Amino acid sequence: MAEIIIHPDVENYIIEVDWQEVRNGDERLRAGIVQWFEDGHLILLKNHGLRVDYELLNSFKMPASETLRKLPYRRFLYPKPWKRDHRLAIFGAFGFDMRKYLWVRRQVKELNADLARLSQELFPNYRFLREQFSWRLLETPDTAAPLHIDFHSGGDMHYLRLFLNLDVQPRVWEISHRLDETVLRYHEDMDWPRLNALNADMFFNQTGDYLRNDVKDPCHVAKFHQGDLWLCDTRKISHGVLSGNRTVATHFWVDRQSMDDPSKRIEVQVANLRAKYGPQAKAAE
Contact between 182 and 238 under an 8 Å Cβ cutoff? The reply is yes
pLDDT score at 281: 52
pLDDT, one tens digit per residue, over 146-201 is 788 887 766 788 999 999 999 999 999 999 999 888 888 888 878 888 888 878 77
Residue 284: per-residue pLDDT? 42
Q: What is the pLDDT of residue 11?
A: 95
Its pTM stands at 0.91
Rounded CA-CA distance 31/26 in Å is 9
CB 237 within 8 A of CB 12: no
- Give percent above pLDDT 90 in the chain: 57
Give dist(CA 139, CA 89) in Å, integer: 15
- Cα(22)–Cα(266) distance, rounded to whole angstroms? 27
Q: What is the mean pLDDT of residues 66-94?
A: 85
Other CB atoms within a 10 A radius of the CB of residue 267 amount to: 17
